[in-house]
A and B are shown apart, each in its own frame.
Chain A
Amino acid sequence: MSTGTLFDKVWDLHTTRLLSSGQTQLFIGLHLIHEVTSPQAFAMLRERGLSVPFPQRTVATVDHIVPTENQSRPYADGMAEEMMTAIERNCREFGIRLFQPGSGKQGVVHIIAPEQGLTQPGMTVACGDSHTATHGAFGAIAFGIGTSQVRDVLATQTLSMNRMKVRKVQVDGTLKSGVYAKDVILHILRVLSAKGGVGFAYEFAGSTFSAMTMEERMTVCNMAIEGGARCGYINPDETTFAYLKGREYAPSGANWDKAVAWWKSVASDADATFDDVKTFRAEDIEPTVTWGISPDHGVGVGESLPARESFAKEEWATIDEAYQYMDLKPGQPIAGVKIDVAFIGSCTNGRISDLRETARVIKAHGGIVPAHVKAFIVPGSEAVKVVAEAEGLHLIFTAHGFEWRNAGCSMCLAMNPDKLKGDQVSASSSNRNFKGRQGSPSGRTLLMSPAMVAIAALEGEVTDVRKVLN
């Protein structure tokens, strides 16, 4: 069993008591909700006559069904309007803060909570959404839950949970030019597999992560779930504190120093022990692109697609299925695969630094998105949009043929009007390449960094971004 890790400390601090099942009743410091996984939870509360004892510890926003083009109400999609009305009513009735479109605070739930200073080190964070792992970037233990558990958190501010094992995923060294946080996590997934992390919390440690900005750390932790880990985290440090300082819901004044001292105390001890350790070298990581139907189906942009024999025999059926679905062949280079759609956004890569880097690549390339490619850029939040527009990034995007949208989940999943059609191939900065994920049952997704999506959009095919950066 691990000892002295941030996970252990935070778990112990939030342990309320042991339940008769042997599970832990775990206090949840920050509960985030959105319109998709919460209405049934509120219905269950009403059915059972339960109240919400800590309404100030839940924060709501809307992201999945919100259209990114025309946001005027009522929404054209009647069902989307009904879901919107439901969360408005639920938040009103139970006294929960809701960040609405137009408030300046709306956006993808995993982008807005850090942005507002709600996510802080040493917290437990839960949300009815698997990418809650994102918040681990701050040194929080953050996990996705289902709707029955959303009900439990609303009704008690706690969850019934089993303790996880802790695996240290250590990456040391300096990333090469054109290699981003997204490539780091895609590379880790490729090596440790999509199920390698089941039963674990991942502690991302080492000089590569220490050197990352908070936004880069969020990209990494966001996809811990894609490796099977329920949560992933990075120990809080000066980068974390500097990011939080001055944010609306972060501690301030005399309380700031107390907060920093406490945050430091929850970080993993120098002599912490882990259940498992895996190490990587930053220099080995290439710009990575997925070719299949699971986020661990990645290859370096200079590589050819793997033969099924390079996988364990029990994976062969899945690999064959992936090739068939994607209409790609083992041995063919990933570079040059034609794309129809380019999507930059999502809780993985919809932050301001992603948009700045996208603009840099577009300017370095200088071209215009060809007519047969639909490229669009969706800021992760209203606040990201404001900054991007103040910096004139949107003008660069639109001048080069990219559409510029309003904040939301957009084409990361297909619950709003942004969807793939037929068997279109999308270069996407989001986190899932599952069959049908982007809205067409036969649509195909290639995951990559926003910089790689930008150049794929301009070239109309998968291209090594270093071509224009170096």
Chain B
Amino acid sequence: MSSSLRLRAAVVSIALFVTFLAIWHLATRGAAPATNMSPEYAKLMGATATAGKSAMPGPLDVGAKLWEHLRRPFYDNGPNDKGLGIQLGYSIARVGLGYLLAVIIAIPLGFLVGMSPLVSRALDPFIQILKPISPLAWMPLALYTIKDSSLSAIFVIFICSVWPMLINTAFGVASVRKEWINVARTLEVGTFRRAFTVILPAAAPTILTGMRISIGIAWLVIVAAEMLVGGTGIGYFVWNEWNNLSITNVIIAIVLIGLVGMLLDQVLARVTRLVTFPE
């Protein structure tokens, strides 16, 4: 039953996708007849003016271009012409670094906040104020203090992914069942061992949920951050191709951003499943 449901869902998905491609194709193909203009002028004007073709690329254009990119993902022809693999690599590396930094800071701090009501109350106003700030608002300050655009992007990733992790870790740690803590206490388990053998495994699913939210936000923010700082990365690529008026490349970049985001989320989802325990 469930396999047949999966099969039917896949069929519907594919049908939807094909319909979408067909509509897209029909909407962007050249329709109007060629106007009478001198051949040289027509050459200047391009297919948009002569054949009534839409300025929007069709699925076939995008497909052809994508194939071209996939064949040479890592070429490097200078600052403004790098393969998509390189651009995505830069973005993933920035997200990875900023995210890792956030994990190193947020999880121990979250433990502290979750275990100590005093620290929790003391830090609460700061967290409440800092959390809703758009990570990009930090950018000028980061650029001014760090004086390095690439590091500033990493800082922005750090600052946007730290909050969900911090809040979820604190919540997970604070809501560990009292009876599990009592078991550790009656067994005279020390604070340090208790943190690793009881609190960490008990809070792990909540912590991982926070990490999963964070990676999603980090991947959202990197595109915007790279548009601002420029130089390399998939966000810069999108903006650069917009300046080149290459809508085809912009569409390809959008699709790839979606795919990479999904992969990152899936990795975290897999890890979450590993640490989740049934009760």
**A and B together in one complex:** no
Binding site for A on B (CB under 8 A): none
